[in-house]
Structure 1
Amino acid sequence: MVDVLPLVEARLVTALGEPDARAAVTFLGTDRIEVLRFHEEDLVRYATLGMSAQPMADPTAVLADPVKGPRAELVLSVRAGRADTDKVLRPLAVLAASPQVEGVVVAPGASLDVGGPLWPGAPFTSVLVGEPGGLVADLELDDPMDPVRFLPLLPMTPNEAAWKRVHGAQALQERWLAGGTDLRDPARRSVPLDTAPE
């Protein structure tokens, strides 16, 4: 059985450069999750490493397939120096462990709630899972394993998360686009949601 994680880390380094920090978090009954930090000019990116070690299993399946199934890691990008975003490491590790702990399949369009601010003073308590392939290309694995996808996380304010539950991920992303929202701003306000889009 191939060890997926060295391949995943190599893909992250190829796409984002060498990490300048890393932290490991272990939850009871789960594999260790690492979070790597990458600096790129005025951006800081955080990527999980460990979520893709096992495929995500359909929570309705009687037995989890140890080989087949979607695999993913999470990537969060924020502007550097505007907030104490390094405290996001544990919430990110919690999200990355959720397939093992809660049996959820993390996919684009999903909302993930961390139950508190993403970092101290953050106006966000949840994230929207974006489409993969933009920042870090999918990592193909040998058959019959699914590729590892690197899913961007887009922080949502509580108002945006509630609005997304009613109107859907696509509608929220259109609001962000129409409002010129800087989704990497760690101190941004909620996009206006009470008026009809132009």
Structure 2
Amino acid sequence: MAADVLALVEARLSSALGESDARAGVTFLGAERIEVLRFLDTREDATPLVRYATLGMSAAPMADPSAFLADPVEGPRAELVLSVRAGRADTDKVLRPLAVLAASPQVEGVVIAPGASLDVGEPLWPGAPFTSVLVAEPGGLVETLDLDPPLDPVAFLPLLPMTPHEAAWKRVHGAQALQEKWLAHGTDLRDPLRGSVPLD
């Protein structure tokens, strides 16, 4: 069943983002293999975008950490998607941090949902001003994938890199307030070298 789900997930990613031009897999103790696919998007403007999407997180539903037994069938499923401007930083090194985040529901029993902060404890790539990401609402870039009942749909959750200052501010004021700050200042959230947004 998991293999069937992942085949459908990969097909949805390809239909939304084009064919991947690279992929890497990481296996963690106590977790299934997580792959990260890379897609190059040259359609939007003069600066190409590179998108990274996990594949493997949705093989099993995310379980409520307070539940005594994890339901092997029902529960939220998701994959993670990160978009950055290509050629400005060595962002391909984000593959392992992304795989770590995607494995966390299996390894740590957490449920990843919009509004959450995920911290990898180190720069997302060499020289990155970010060690954490904000999980945004799904459905924009890659449409949610419906699976046959009783399986829950697979949501594709965009990740927005946060500077440590932004992450600390978000903990106090909330995800919505931080996103409003970004919007008000016209922050380019895809710039892999951007600085922190001005925060009062």
Name the TM tier (shorter chain). Answer: over 0.9
1:39 matched residue in structure 2? 40
Aligned length: 194
1:6 matched residue in structure 2? 7
Which 5+ residue runs of structure 1 have no aligned equivalent? none
Query: Which stretches of structure 1, 4 residues or more, deviate above 4 A after TM superposition?
Result: none
**Distance in 2 (alpha carbons) for counterparts of 1:40 and 1:172:** 27
Residue by residue over 1:139-183, the C-alpha shift from the partner in whole angstroms, topping out at 9 and shown as x without a partner, is 000111110000000000000000000000000000000010000
1:118 matched residue in structure 2? 124
1:29 matched residue in structure 2? 30
TM-score, length of structure 1 as denominator length: 0.97
What is the 5 A alignment of 1:44-193?
44-193=50-199
Task: After TM superposition, give the deviation of residue 29 of structure 1 in Å.
Answer: 1.1
**Distance in 2 (alpha carbons) for counterparts of 1:7 and 1:26:** 21
RMSD of equivalent CA atoms:
0.6
**Distance in 2 (alpha carbons) for counterparts of 1:101 and 1:18:** 29
TM-score, length of structure 2 as denominator length: 0.96
- Percent identity, aligned pairs only, is 85
Residue by residue over 1:71-104, the C-alpha shift from the partner in whole angstroms, topping out at 9 and shown as x without a partner, is 0000000000000000000000000000001110
**Distance in 2 (alpha carbons) for counterparts of 1:65 and 1:28:** 20
**Distance in 1 (alpha carbons) for counterparts of 2:69 and 2:28:** 22
Give the counterpart letter for 1:19 in structure 2: S
Give the counterpart letter for 2:22 in structure 1: A
